[in-house]
Homo-oligomer: A and B are copies of this chain.
Amino acid sequence: MTGSPALQPVDPRVVQQVLDGRWAHVRQDARDQLGTAEYAVVHGESMAEARARVTGLAAKLAATGQVGLAFPAAYGGSDDAGGSVAAIEMLAFADLSLMVKAGVQWGLFGGAVQALGNARQHEAYLPAILSFDLPGCFAMTETGHGSDVQQLRTTATYDPATQTFDLHTPHAAARKDYIGNAAQDGRMAVVFAQLVTQGQGRGVHAFLVPIRDADGSPAPGVTIGDDGSKAGLLGVDNGRLGFDHVTVPRDMLLDRYGQVAPDGTYSSSIENETRRFFTMLGTLVRGRVSVGGSASSAAKVALEIAVRYGDVRRQFAAPGEDREVVVNDYLVHQRKLLPALARTYALAFAQEELICTMHDVLSAPEPADESVQRELESRAAGLKAAQTWHATATVQLCREACGGAGYLAENRLPGLRADVDVFTTFEGDNTVLMQLVAKGLLTGYRDAFGSLDGWGRAQFVADQVRETVLERTAARGLIQRLVDAVPGRDEEVSVLDRGWQLRAFEDREQHVLDGAVKRLRKNAATKRDRPFDVFNDVQDHVLAAAQAHVDRIVLEAFVAGIERTPDAAAKALLGRVCDLYALTTIEAEKGWFLQHGRLTPARAKTLTSVVNDLLRELRPHMRTLVDAFGTPEAWLNAALLDEEPVRQAEMAAHDAALRRAGDEPQQAATATDLAVAPAQ
């Protein structure tokens, strides 16, 4: 088949250890402490029931030590940013509403106070934030400004006479919207608004604003609305906040990056306003990393349900054969589930690498070098987009793979699908995030704060691209060796050669990017009077470059992860899964590779046949691959996992009894009939 020794059976716990990675202890602690039915989703709840349950669990979570990991040890945390992401990814296996609720409280709200506040503010608020005694909101997004957060319209105008800010929502489109914890629980909010002092705008800053009184009624001047029923995440109370000239004391400005003196004098260690804004946002990168990883948890749960169902579920009787054929034996079923599983593995390794980088950047005693910070943000953006799109698609295909059963709430998939849907939108719309990735590539990770001087410097940019694109954070030496070992001519190399795969991904990224830069340069020269069109006309090309970049990053992380795997059998299995990820990605982009002479027609044909061989080879290991996610059984919470094996056994026993009685159950007579029977 694939010309390699046959894969050996692998203990899923060995693979789990590899996936659990650097924060294995955090992940195992979550399984041990929280891995019960109490933390599992409840199907078919009303919005009110879901909100009440999730709020109660959030309060309980505070006592587990699982949610405060990122905070300073002085306030009961562990100074462990990476661990906090691992912990929230684990919550996502159990219940995405609970994960989002925790993410809002301890990630966004608490994280903003921690990252943007001063020591006095930490002292005053972090303990109550950690204990959930002070539920809070992260109020950035406005109804009219979803993606363009630098242009928020809420204003905070300083008055030296009273030493207060006047926080104001100028019109309906400027109300804060989709704000978690706002509709029901939040007592305080970090509100992002344009700071104005001494008659001058200083850009977006964050303010700590009480939004509810002790009795739960809105604070004076604050209007609270409820976003009401949503597609999913019913346990999260999203709402709207309006401010009618609300008075905010001077010391409630979270002033790490910008201070206002009593007399209204503004000061900041970062002079450039745009740069200051993005530096503030940069400290909040953890949220985006958490969202991407949590979406992947959802994909893992869906795949485990679909793979286990497909291992017992029969569809048509196998013609003229004794063996039991189950749904997972069908090539087309494998063609759906296995590439999704392979990509889930690839993304898991990329996410682990991202968490490590993030942790090291955030934990370093000195602020990171600007280029390192920018690259972290770019990867966080790209992997957030990649993982959330993948999760939406994967949960959907798993729903379809489970047929009608997949549509019943009791089988988990409907809730998972509805909950994960918005992950492609919040914490940054995916398309906008991919533009951010593209921007990083176009400037070679440089000049991220300023704008390019028109497009005159595009040539310079193009020159930088080749070297900067190939910067690698992990296993650089290994990957370079693999790439260098590939002989010059493609036709002589197996498509299973890892170096060839790596080179193919790399070539695509470079070539697409080069092309985009050339077109941008040309546009800049010819469309000087239409600056919007300069970029817009090549938007698809630029996004394709970002996608190629993310694909390559992910493959390299997978290769590095395999290298770290000590167990030989597990390593071999992961190697095959990596082949499947690499080759199905190339197969999906076959048009590009053929169009640019990177694949011959003959080799493209081989590719498809090797992919099908890989599916056959991996078929016996599907169950191992999902078991290795280490999801506590109580969290899966899909009725079909318990009921289907029983039903199928009963059915088989019944059929056997009929055969013994000489009353053969009718069987599809030939292979053709497999294709003919209609369905209802």
Contacts and interface: CB of A to CB of B under 8 A. Distances in A.
B418 A231 contact: yes
B537 A670 contact: no
Contact of A436 (B381, B590, B593, B676): B676
Interface string A651-680: 101100000000101111111111111111
Given A409-B228, A536-B329, A317 B151 contact: yes
Contacts of A646: 172
Contact of A171 (B232, B424, B597, B654): B654
Given A414-B231, A417-B231, A531-B319, A604 B595 contact: yes
Contacts of A425: 400, 403-404, 406-407
Contacts of A424: 400
B228 A672 contact: no
A399 B421 contact: yes
A647 interface: yes
A171 to B, nearest CB: 4
Interface string A539-573: 11011000000000000000000000000000000
Contacts of A663: 201
Most B CB within 10 A of own CB, among A171, A404, A678: A678
A231 B408 CA distance: 6
Most B CB within 10 A of own CB, among A232, A594, A604, A680: A680
Contacts of A455: 671
B671 A410 contact: no
A119 to B, nearest CB: 26
Interface string A409-446: 11001100110011011111111110110110010000
A464 interface: no
Given A429-B403, A680-B428, A231 B651 contact: no
Contacts of A650: 171-173
A410 B231 CA distance: 10
A676 B435 CA distance: 7
Contact of A647 (B173, B317, B438, B530): B173
A466 interface: no
Nearest to A424: B400
Contacts of A648: 144, 173
Copies in the complex: 2
Contacts of A676: 435-436, 439, 448, 451
Nearest to A615: B540
Interface string A467-502: 000000000000000000000000000000000000
Interface in A299-338: 314-321, 323, 325, 329-332, 335
Contacts of A403: 146-147, 425, 429
Chain A, interface SS category: helix
Contact of A149 (B46, B227, B331, B680): B680
Contacts of A675: 435-436, 438-439, 442, 535, 542
Contacts of A410: 228-229
Most B CB within 10 A of own CB, among A171, A392, A601: A171
A530 to B, nearest CB: 7
B404 A201 contact: no
Interface string A228-265: 11111000000000000000000000000000000000
9 contacts: A150-B677, A151-B668, A172-B647, A232-B414, A403-B425, A433-B678, A451-B673, A531-B670, A535-B671
Interface of A: 43-44, 46-47, 140-141, 143-144, 146-151, 153, 170-174, 177-178, 201, 203, 227-232, 278, 281, 314-321, 323, 325, 329-332, 335, 377, 381, 392, 396, 399-400, 403-404, 406-410, 413-414, 417-418, 421-422, 424-433, 435-436, 438-439, 442, 448, 451-452, 454-455, 530-532, 534-540, 542-543, 587, 589-591, 593-597, 601, 604-605, 612, 646-648, 650-651, 653-654, 663, 665-680
Given A174-B651, A323-B532, A332-B431, 10 more contacts: A171-B653, A229-B409, A231-B409, A329-B536, A331-B539, A381-B678, A396-B421, A429-B679, A451-B672, A594-B595
